[in-house]
With several copies, the nearest count.
Chain A
């Protein structure tokens, strides 16, 4: 049965030090609120997984939550670098993190394999590149019919997936619309799952398009309005392109970053207070 918990309770119950966590959202519906709550609860030693780590992973890495990062593109989309990620990789600050780097196609296929209960995925990736030299997870096999060399990657099977969606119904069925990214696969590949939503309604369905994920694939639903900010939730609010630009300045300097996180994240009790404070300070 799907549980309905506050985000604080959900993180307390499911996010344990040392587990692997996939918080997906391909440019849309990024579970920012959940990331901040993990920072607030000072949960460390996580193996983070995400195709496109952006601000929320930059924050978690900068605050020392992650020991490992699996990713395929780590930048501030449309802006530039993730300074906290770079500081960790280039200077081991705040500590060393282990990198497991892939291409988008590899991670997409690996999530599909995880969702399908397969141990690995085959595709045509990485040919002629230096990836296989730096990532020993990348292997090759021969097609039994054509002899063609195919690339193999291990399935991604996170301990926990966290995603954000537009709505859940009162039973825990999830409805999401717009750019769907890799979230459904991440959720189905994971052993357990938390879904934050904009609102909880009586009923969800696909009549107006979108994707419904049935309740029996979801462990916890948390109602967190604006929970994807500064990313967006189609039908609810737009992307704060401005915040992505401002993040560049906030994150560039270690102390500036730590002060900002202390002021806005550690000193607020939850996401709604965080948003209120941002608004007061003219960030929203």
Chain B
């Protein structure tokens, strides 16, 4: 914890949770996205439908799950569907509003690598792979990307394109036939990035309290642009922070 009274991870989770509206149908991976969705559900979005890749439609866990296969998720689900049904009817079928994505690398057009660092055949680091992310990125109406902002994560050129954000030139989605609109925001520990309608690349539209433009620039592997009127993210509210910490404690 820093002198601000909250950690950068907490800032990320709280920022993400604010993006989730009450009626949203949200496709969630484990970790920070799961915390963000559970936080939103307990705060301002009680009717949110949480969908985990393992097959649980509209689950209402009492505690945030430890993995997407946590038995808490299946016990509290409205419906459990098979993996083919999840990927065919619900995801490719275009029935999910928001999908969360993580990344090992991201480029200026919000394309994502979760596959490999280095050469595919002779990898420096073999990552787990994309799993469901490739199609989450394509077929959820919107996506939210969450990751730490460093110059080695935010790169000029991805080692491997695992999932498409806005495509190679920043405008490939229509010709790829995706039903989804792509990343609504990239939420980092430093602020929020969104697509610029002009340059089609990610620009910094919000900085978290206390984060400087220089710090954000140095933590990005390409010449980062900023919105003309850059905003400061609202500092975490007391009720957000205390509930988030309660949720995290339940996971121990």
**Shortest Cβ gap from B175 to chain A (Å):** 9
The number of residues on chain A lying at the interface, defined by a beta carbon within 8 Å of a beta carbon of chain B, is: 69
A117 in complex: contacting residue of B49, B81, B172, B179, CB < 8 Å: B179
**Shortest Cβ gap from A209 to chain B (Å):** 9
CB pair A129 B131 closer than 8 Å: no
Q: Is B128 an interface residue (CB 8 A)?
A: yes
**Shortest Cβ gap from A111 to chain B (Å):** 7
Q: Is A253 an interface residue (CB 8 A)?
A: no
Q: Is B140 an interface residue (CB 8 A)?
A: no
A238 to B74, CA, bound (A): 12
Which B residues are in CB contact (< 8 Å) with A75? 127-129
Q: Is A77 an interface residue (CB 8 A)?
A: yes
Determine which residue in A125, A128, A188, A206 has the highest number of CB atoms from chain B within 10 A of its CB, and name it: A128
The number of residues on chain B lying at the interface, defined by a beta carbon within 8 Å of a beta carbon of chain A, is: 69
Binds A, one of B63-71, B209-217, B231-239: B63-71
Q: Is A74 an interface residue (CB 8 A)?
A: yes
Which A residues are in CB contact (< 8 Å) with B94? 117
Binds B, one of A9-17, A172-180, A262-270: A172-180
CB pair A128 B172 closer than 8 Å: yes
Residue of B nearest to A81 (CB): B128
B92 in complex: contacting residue of A90, A123, A134, A234, CB < 8 Å: A123
Which B residues are in CB contact (< 8 Å) with A128? 111, 138, 161, 164, 167-168, 172, 176
CB pair A101 B129 closer than 8 Å: yes
What sequence of 0s and 1s flags, for each residue 16-41 of chain A, a beta carbon within 8 Å of any chain B beta carbon?
00000000001110000000000000
Which B residues are in CB contact (< 8 Å) with A213? 79
Mostly, the A contact residues are: loop
Binds B, one of A102-110, A158-166, A219-227, A273-281: A102-110
CB pair B162 A105 closer than 8 Å: no
CB pair B88 A90 closer than 8 Å: no
Q: Is A124 an interface residue (CB 8 A)?
A: yes
Which A residues are in CB contact (< 8 Å) with B47? 171
Which A residues are in CB contact (< 8 Å) with B80? 178-180, 206
A142 to B179, CA, bound (A): 18
- On whether A104 and B53 interact (CB within 8 A), knowing A78-B30, A239-B66, the answer reads yes
Q: Is A247 an interface residue (CB 8 A)?
A: no
- On whether A116 and B88 interact (CB within 8 A), knowing A28-B69, A72-B130, the answer reads yes
Q: Which residues of B contact A (CB under 8 A)?
A: 23, 25, 30-31, 47, 49, 53-58, 66-71, 73-75, 77-84, 86-89, 91-95, 111, 115, 120-121, 123-135, 138-139, 160-164, 167-168, 172, 176-179
